[in-house]
Amino acid sequence: MKNYQKMTFLSLLIITSMQAEASKKFDIDKTRWLSVGAGLRTSFQTQEDAAPNKTGWNNDFNIDNARLYVNGQLHQYIKIEFNTDCPSCSNGGDIQVLDAIGKFEVTPMMNLWVGRHLVPAERREMSGPFYSAIYNAFSTGTPSDPAHFNNRFKSDGTSAGVEGRDDGATFWGAAFEGHFQYAVGFFRGLNGGANTNDNILYAQRFAYNFWKVERNPGYYTSGTYFGRDGDILTLAVSNQYQEKGAGTITDAGDFRGTAVDFLMEKSLPDDNGVVTFNGEYKNYDITNGYSMDSRIAGGGLGVFEGNATDVSGMYLFPHKLGIGHFQPYARYVDVMPTSSASRNVYEAGLNYVINGHNAKVSLSYQYGDLLTKGQNYTPTANGDKVNAMNVNFQWQI
């Protein structure tokens, strides 16, 4: 009982200290510390022909993410991370464990994370919704990886993770003064269903920083640094594979997903702003099973098969207007499923950057049939090209 009271008092003391010091790190002693934070993303979307009567414009107010962050260090080489999210808050909402990571970080060249964490993949997944360059990076982006195909952890063969996370272990590190970065992971992947042999999902990401080295926690990335970290040019390749990682229990297929992504960010001479270019190409394949009849019938884990690209460019104005900087951008996404209709979306937007990824507002316009066809990759998928407008808000502390 005394230990419980002591821990409760310590927890209250930590939270009070965080509030008083704007969520700064709370030092317990010379090697141990704890930090607490939070993040919120909310949006409003109106889309053509999406109202309940199928002819008018809909009006959707969404809570896209509501997260709590807890990080700590137990020892010089041992850290923990525990984060939660509410991915279904717009439908009532429930809190889920997003990350639960035990970290062994000994040298820059070799580290180990175990528990629930990001599966190594393309930059979008490694940046997540809060650190991507564009607010709609996931909702109207390239198809999701298996670990991002469901918003619930389930054992019925319909889930391989949530929001890009899965349970497993990842070795990561850097060499050549940090320019070469790698992450190699082993995960549960598809849980149940088609994966009757309980096969492991293997995931790798290898990146090379040609200019300045990107500085992020672990093997995470960002879609932009707003020019604060100097000139950046990074090229990366990632791959995931799981035998019997897709399909149904009676018609299973082997999943393989390969992606190439790049980031170029450069500050223009004489304080003339910052230009940023992002791009990714995906080639996903399912072999040795999962017939078209099974895909049409549905059930199981029907991940994407085909090719997809996502390219964007943006310009950050150098001088403040009010409390932030304006950052206009343009984007094009093209999704080409193997056995379904192609779909794309054009997007133009304007970010108002108040404090980097911690405080920004954006307005965007979209046009395309990716908005209506979505993630339906069956031969019968259909949808018209429509218009949509979005107003988005993002805050973190």
**pLDDT tens digits for 2-44?**
444 444 434 433 333 333 334 568 889 889 999 999 999 999 9
Q: What is the pLDDT of residue 51?
A: 87
CATH top class, domain 25-396: mainly beta
CA distances from 145 to 1, 141, 252, 346 (A): 46, 12, 17, 22
| Assigned token pair, 114 | 């175990």
Whether 290 contacts 303, CB under 8 Å: no
Are the CB atoms for 336 and 307 separated by under 8 Å? yes
d(CA 227, CA 208): 19
Residue 14: per-residue pLDDT? 39
Give the integer Cα–Cα distance in Å for 249 and 235: 37
Note the pLDDT of residue 184. Answer: 98
Give the angle 260-245-118 at the CA atoms, nearest 5°.
50
Phi-psi region of 222 (alpha: psi -120 to 50; beta: other; left: phi over 0): beta
Q: What does the pLDDT read at residue 297?
A: 81
Low-confidence ranges of the chain (pLDDT < 50): 1-22
pLDDT at 10: 40
At 197-233, the pLDDT tens digits run 999 999 999 999 999 999 999 999 999 999 999 999 9
- Phi (first) and psi of residue 13, to 5 degrees: -65, -45
Q: Count CB atoms within 10 A of the CB of residue 186.
A: 15
Residues 6+ apart with CB under 8 A from 374: 383
Q: Tell me how long the chain is.
A: 397
Tell me what pLDDT residue 8 has: 40
Separation of CA 383 from chain center: 26
Q: What is the 3-state secondary structure (H, E, C) of the chain?
A: CHHHHHHHHHHHHHHHHHHHCCCCCEECCCCCEEEEEEEEEEEEEEECCCCCCCCCCCCEEEEEEEEEEEEEEEECCEEEEEEEECCCHHHCCCCEEEEEEEEEEEECCEEEEEEEEECCCCHHHHHHHHHCCCCCCCCCCCCCCHHHCCCCCCCCCCCCCECCEEEEEEEEEEECCCCEEEEEEEECCCCCCCCCCCCCEEEEEEEEECCCCCCCCCCCCCCCCCCCCCCEEEEEEEEEEEEEEEECCCCEEEEEEEEEEEEEEEECCCCCCEEEEEEEEEEEEEECCCCHHHHHHCCCECCCCEEEEEEEEEEECCCCECCEEEEEEEEEEEEEECCCCCEEEEEEEEEEECECECEEEEEEEEEECHHHHCCCCCCCCCCCCEEEEEEEEEEEC
What per-residue confidence (pLDDT) applies to 291?
A: 86
Closest CA to 371 of 42, 49, 44, 53: 49
Token pair recorded at residue 349: 């937007």
Spatial CB neighbours of 343, under 8 Å, sequence gap ≥ 6: 334, 335, 368, 369, 370, 373, 381, 383
Q: Which residues pair with 97 in a beta bridge?
A: 84
Q: Which residues contact 362 (CB under 8 A, 6 or more apart)?
A: 134, 135, 349, 350, 351, 352, 390, 391, 392, 394
Phi/psi at 90 (5° precision): -70, -15
Q: Residue 24: its pLDDT value, please?
A: 63
Q: Which residue carries 């939270």 as its tokens?
A: 15
Beta bridge partners of 40: 66, 395
Give the pTM.
Answer: 0.90
Which residue has tokens 């930059």?
Answer: 123
Q: What percent of the chain has pLDDT over 70?
A: 94
Q: What is the mean pLDDT of the chain?
A: 91
Under 8 Å CB-to-CB from 308, ≥6 apart: which residues? 142, 143, 281, 282, 284, 333, 334, 335, 336
